[in-house]
Structure 1
Amino acid sequence: MRPLRYSINITLDGCCHHEAGLAPDEESMRYWTAEMQRADALLFGRVTYEMMESAWRKPAAGAWPDWMTERDLPFAESIDRAKKYVVSSTLSEVDWNAELVRSDLARAVQQLKHEPGKGLWVGGVTLPRALADLGLIDEYEFLVQPVVAGHGPTLLAGLRERIQLELIGRHDFRSGAVALRYRPTRSRA
């Protein structure tokens, strides 16, 4: 069974708004590119899908936008070509190498996890909370930024039950950020 990994940037006070932390640098872009490549497919809610598509989809003209630097290209290419599943009750269709998931979330994700492969990756805020409540996340990865945001959406706000985690990995960045990787200590699914 392939694992479902939840990865997100957060601030020291738990804010997980995509603009609250440090701007990506070369080291963090290499790290996130490697994380994308550990997954066979990406799982997004509508908001995250639309945000990622607007930033990382290769334009139809075939050339990446001028704002992208050499350090951004490997990440952009990885996420652009990745298989994506989009959980949404409001979208009528998706593209960008994506498939719409409308059925029972727990059953649909269990089916995806039972397919062969290296793993699934989920990002965002709302969908991961629902998946955590269902006990479907096998690994949590938080890239903790050395910033206190003081406001914004917080990590997994509104969880129904506490989830006990065991530290299984750590990576320190020159910027002062720290990637912490955890797995649940007990099976919930």
Structure 2
Amino acid sequence: MRSLRYSINVTLDGCVHHEAGSPPDEESMRYWATEMARADALLFGRVTYEMMESAWRKPITGTWPDWMEEWEIPFAETIDRAKKYVVSSTLSRADWNAELLQGDVGPAVQRLKQEPGEGLWVGGVTLPLALADLGLIDEYEFLVQPVVAGHGPTLLAGLRDRIQLALVGRHEFRSGAVALRYRPAADGFSAGRLP
């Protein structure tokens, strides 16, 4: 069974808006490229899928755009070639190595988790909240930025039940950011599970 890891940048005050934290640097982009490469597939909601595609899809020319720094290319190549699943009730199709997940999100993701492989990776805001409420996230990875945003959407806002987590990994960056990895604690997980 594949595990599902939720990864996201977050400010010290819990803001998860993609522009609220520190700008990406070479060290953090290398870290994210390595983390994404560990997954068999990426799982996105429509908004995150469209945002990532607009920034990281390789142009049909086969050449990365001039605005892209050399150190961003490994991340761009990793996300560009990754298998993707998109959860959306409004999209009629998805490309960019992607397919739509049809029907109820819980059973659809549960089926993906039951396939053999290394693991699945989910990013974004809305979809991970739904998956956390269903008890489908096996690992939480927060790259905590040394920034107080003071506004914006916050991490897992609206979660139905408390999820007790146990720290399983930590990585410090030269920028002052810290990546923290957690798994639901065996004795404290209270969110609902699929039957």
Distance 1:83 1:98 in 2: 6
AA matched with 1:15: C
Classify the secondary structure of the residue corresponding to 1:47: helix
Which residue number corresponds to residue 51 of structure 2?
51
Which residue number corresponds to residue 20 of structure 2?
20
1:36 maps to 2:36: yes
Q: TM-score, normalised by structure 2?
A: 0.95
Which residue number corresponds to residue 165 of structure 2?
165
Classify the secondary structure of the residue corresponding to 1:71: helix
Structure 1 position 167, deviation (Å) = 0.2
Structure 1 position 62, deviation (Å) = 1.0
Structure 1 position 61, deviation (Å) = 1.3
AA matched with 2:84: K
1:66 maps to 2:50: no
Higher mean Cα deviation, 131-140 or 110-119? 110-119
Higher mean Cα deviation, 99-108 or 9-18? 99-108
AA matched with 2:19: E
Moved over 4 A (4+): none
AA matched with 2:81: R
Q: Which runs of 5+ in 1 are unaligned?
A: none
Distance 1:26 1:72 in 2: 7
Distance 1:159 1:172 in 2: 28
Deviation string for 1:92-137 (max 9, x for gaps)? 1110000001211111101100111111000000000000000000
Distance 1:53 1:83 in 2: 13
Which residue number corresponds to residue 102 of structure 2?
102
Structure 1 position 85, deviation (Å) = 0.2
Structure 1 position 34, deviation (Å) = 0.5
Distance 1:59 1:116 in 2: 32
Q: Which runs of 5+ in 2 are unaligned?
A: none
Alignment of 1:76-155 (within 5 A): 76-155=76-155
Distance 1:102 1:125 in 2: 19
RMSD: 0.8
Distance 1:128 1:161 in 2: 14
Which residue number corresponds to residue 177 of structure 1?
177
Deviation string for 1:35-73 (max 9, x for gaps)? 111100000000000000000000111111111111101
Distance 2:115 2:72 in 1: 30
Distance 1:26 1:166 in 2: 29
Distance 1:121 1:107 in 2: 17
Classify the secondary structure of the residue corresponding to 2:70: coil
